[in-house]
A and B are shown apart, each in its own frame.
Chain A
């Protein structure tokens, strides 16, 4: 078995796939160097991220994978999970070596693992589309921050841009310290100098907010209470749909 170290980027992962063929490696263990504890006896092979090599591998994969699987591969990568990097490497090699269609072999451990990881990331993307709560600031920008388990921000622009085409908005990932900003034309990545803290009410300081913001937060909290049917109360089901770790985003859970 050979140990490969890469820099945690998608380019790096694809370059590692390239290296497997270039170096004719058999079994490869792929580790993100950021989470690697150096081993005196096995320094490992350090993969250098190379744009061209990455592109060639991606092209090769695209020849074998349909649109949906290409997207799944990317989503699984965004999970940032160490074991998923390994599955992605194995999956890529398996798909490249086999005739087209091999990605439908759900009995293959790596195919299944990649598809499951992609599913998890997809679920969280969908949750963010649901749980983001914008607050309107005094200068008319709708702002929300999140702390997702996976790096789902790159998956969000399309959805929010289609929907909120006529308002400026920011969604900021406090954990990964970057955000996306839509300026009525396009969505771009941004970094805030002093990012707000995740507070219990998920709120910006009151002096930054639009004067009507308090009213609509109140009305939303009221609505959440009024639309509940007490006789059907089922907190287990409630928590399954709205896991506790997301409650801090949700103004209706603070009222």
Chain B
């Protein structure tokens, strides 16, 4: 008797997994009604799949029936696969029972588009409304915005969801047109803008009236597929940067394309997903958001792609050796942050600790910085006297020879460009 629901979950979880967003953080929904669930503060990864990705939300499609035929998507109309659809009650019951057993932080609900956009969006809204109002569920809900859905439905969805997202899919309009002629970036921008302006409006009202209800408290995000179309890293990151700025996105996700189709426009089935490239893009994204880097410093016309063998911060440092060495005992916090091998928390510890006395090598090692990498770029109380200036290639060679990169073993499947 369990077979039907097990089969549905199998199909609809499988179809949803290519959306990589897993975040369950950034909301402020508290359990104030003695109901169930709490989505305040930082997220929790309840487990990790064997591919090492966080499992935080029950990530499913309402249905994988779809009227569109996007070449990169496993649920495309022309694909010969099993189709299924949950009922509203089934989604609610799965969510509640998983949540009560501490399996998940909440629900990530997406859907193929059946009939039309509003029909689909209306079903999604019905589920989240039932969870919030009937089950008194205060856990995290990430809801997909269906392109083309009416403003009224988006507004209602925003009253129940913690985060909403809509995917750009391909980094440029040209790329998208190539694989999904029925879609455009414009129809992604429109709802992003509408929800953004609503969030801003609710926030400004909140400043005046305390009882203003929540509206998408964890903000919006999007996803860019990497490696399905031939864009450069520069094009990808510049698009991401523009969306961070124009739509106040909380996150841009980069999803290395997993070949799932024999379409001649796409990488063939069985070819390796571009995992290193994806990782480097995330590192670069972090540099923009937490390390005070401008996207033009990381990638530009002279340097349009991220390197596979070194991370983007080290790469930037090697291209800008004139800005180093940085004196740990006197330099500005933001300059310390730019040193390869020093992260946000060790940079903070360094500026705290140096108020009590000059910092020596032994201190720095204990504070948890990657000293082997950082030492080429810093001066400290007992730095050795350096007689000659090393050039970038030499430093890179030294760092690579000393470090055991997690990619060394499998780096062979991604060809070096140079």
Looking at the assembled complex, report how far the CB atom of A213 sits from the nearest CB atom of chain B, in whole angstroms. Answer: 9
How many contacts A-B (CB < 8 Å)? Answer: 154
Known interface pairs A105-B356, A107-B357, A107-B359. Does A126 touch B258 (Cβ–Cβ under 8 Å)? no
- Which of B38-46, B141-149, B334-342 binds A? B38-46
Contact of A144 among B31, B37, B102 (CB under 8 A): B102
Q: Judge if B97 is at the interface, Cβ distance under 8 Å.
A: yes
Chain B residue at minimum C-beta to C-beta distance from A171: B102
Contact bitstring A71-113, B, C-beta under 8 A = 1, else 0: 0000000000000000000000000000000101111110010
Interface residues on A, range: 35 or more
Q: Is the CB of B10 within 8 A of A226?
A: yes
CA distance A229 to B363 in the complex (A): 42
CA distance A205 to B370 in the complex (A): 49
Known interface pairs A215-B2, A223-B13. Does A112 touch B367 (Cβ–Cβ under 8 Å)? yes
Q: Judge if B379 is at the interface, Cβ distance under 8 Å.
A: no
- Find residues 31-60 in chain B having any chain A CB closer than 8 Å to their own CB: 31, 34-38, 40, 44-55, 58-59
Known interface pairs A216-B101, A229-B51, A231-B258. Does A131 touch B46 (Cβ–Cβ under 8 Å)? yes
Q: Judge if A204 is at the interface, Cβ distance under 8 Å.
A: no
Q: Judge if B123 is at the interface, Cβ distance under 8 Å.
A: no
Q: Judge if B103 is at the interface, Cβ distance under 8 Å.
A: yes
Q: Is the CB of B10 within 8 A of A104?
A: no
CA distance A243 to B375 in the complex (A): 32
Q: Judge if A206 is at the interface, Cβ distance under 8 Å.
A: no
Looking at the assembled complex, report how far the CB atom of B328 sits from the nearest CB atom of chain A, in whole angstroms. Answer: 11
Q: Judge if B186 is at the interface, Cβ distance under 8 Å.
A: no
Q: Is the CB of A229 within 8 A of B47?
A: no
CA distance A102 to B259 in the complex (A): 56
Looking at the assembled complex, report how far the CB atom of A252 sits from the nearest CB atom of chain B, in whole angstroms. Answer: 6
Contacts of A224 in B (CB 8 A): 47, 49, 55
Looking at the assembled complex, report how far the CB atom of A101 sits from the nearest CB atom of chain B, in whole angstroms. Answer: 8
Looking at the assembled complex, report how far the CB atom of B75 sits from the nearest CB atom of chain A, in whole angstroms. Answer: 14
Contact bitstring B1-42, A, C-beta under 8 A = 1, else 0: 010011001100110111000000000001100111110100
Chain A residue at minimum C-beta to C-beta distance from B256: A232
Q: Is the CB of B102 within 8 A of A228?
A: no
Q: Judge if B273 is at the interface, Cβ distance under 8 Å.
A: yes
Chain B residue at minimum C-beta to C-beta distance from A246: B47
Q: Is the CB of A227 within 8 A of B59?
A: yes
Chain A residue at minimum C-beta to C-beta distance from B7: A222
Contacts of A229 in B (CB 8 A): 17-18, 49, 51, 53, 258
Contact bitstring A157-178, B, C-beta under 8 A = 1, else 0: 0000011111100000000000
Q: Is the CB of A238 within 8 A of B52?
A: yes
Contacts of B352 in A (CB 8 A): 104-106
Looking at the assembled complex, report how far the CB atom of B9 sits from the nearest CB atom of chain A, in whole angstroms. Answer: 6
Q: Is the CB of A162 within 8 A of B103?
A: no
CA distance A112 to B365 in the complex (A): 12
CA distance A229 to B82 in the complex (A): 18
Q: Judge if B366 is at the interface, Cβ distance under 8 Å.
A: yes
Chain B residue at minimum C-beta to C-beta distance from A240: B52
Contacts of B51 in A (CB 8 A): 228-230, 232-234, 237-238
Chain B residue at minimum C-beta to C-beta distance from A126: B44
Q: Is the CB of A105 within 8 A of B353?
A: yes
Q: Is the CB of A167 within 8 A of B50?
A: no
Q: Is the CB of A135 within 8 A of B357?
A: no
CA distance A39 to B52 in the complex (A): 50
Contacts of A133 in B (CB 8 A): 101-103
Q: Judge if A129 is at the interface, Cβ distance under 8 Å.
A: yes
Contacts of A237 in B (CB 8 A): 48, 51-52
Looking at the assembled complex, report how far the CB atom of A133 sits from the nearest CB atom of chain B, in whole angstroms. Answer: 6
Q: Is the CB of B355 within 8 A of A134?
A: no
Contacts of A242 in B (CB 8 A): 47-48
Q: Is the CB of A226 within 8 A of B46?
A: no
Q: Judge if A201 is at the interface, Cβ distance under 8 Å.
A: no
- Find residues 343-391 in chain B having any chain A CB closer than 8 Å to their own CB: 349, 352-357, 359, 363, 366-367
Q: Judge if A190 is at the interface, Cβ distance under 8 Å.
A: no
Q: Judge if B98 is at the interface, Cβ distance under 8 Å.
A: yes
Chain B residue at minimum C-beta to C-beta distance from A234: B52
Q: Judge if A192 is at the interface, Cβ distance under 8 Å.
A: no
Q: Is the CB of A106 within 8 A of B34?
A: no
- Find residues 138-157 in chain A having any chain B CB closer than 8 Å to their own CB: 142, 144
Contact of B258 among A164, A220, A222, A232 (CB under 8 A): A232
Q: Judge if B92 is at the interface, Cβ distance under 8 Å.
A: no
CA distance A135 to B5 in the complex (A): 20
Chain A residue at minimum C-beta to C-beta distance from B56: A130
Q: Is the CB of B102 within 8 A of A219?
A: no
Q: Is the CB of B50 within 8 A of A226?
A: no
CA distance A144 to B366 in the complex (A): 37
Chain B residue at minimum C-beta to C-beta distance from A108: B356
Contacts of A106 in B (CB 8 A): 349, 352-353, 363, 367
Looking at the assembled complex, report how far the CB atom of A95 sits from the nearest CB atom of chain B, in whole angstroms. Answer: 13
Closest 4 CB pairs of A and B: A237-B52, A232-B51, A226-B13, A228-B49
Provide a sorted-by-A list of 20 A–B residue pairs whose CB atoms are within 8 angstroms: A104-B352, A104-B355, A107-B353, A107-B356, A107-B359, A109-B366, A112-B366, A131-B46, A167-B36, A215-B2, A216-B98, A216-B101, A218-B2, A226-B13, A229-B51, A229-B53, A231-B272, A233-B51, A237-B48, A237-B51
Contacts from A to B (Cβ < 8 Å): 102, 104-109, 112, 126, 129-136, 142, 144, 162-167, 212, 215-216, 218-220, 222-224, 226-238, 240-242, 250, 252
Contacts A104-B356, A107-B359, A235-B50 given; 4 further ones with Cβ under 8 A? A106-B352, A126-B44, A230-B51, A236-B406
Contacts from B to A (Cβ < 8 Å): 2, 5-6, 9-10, 13-14, 16-18, 30-31, 34-38, 40, 44-55, 58-59, 94, 97-98, 100-103, 136, 256, 258-259, 272-273, 275, 349, 352-357, 359, 363, 366-367, 406
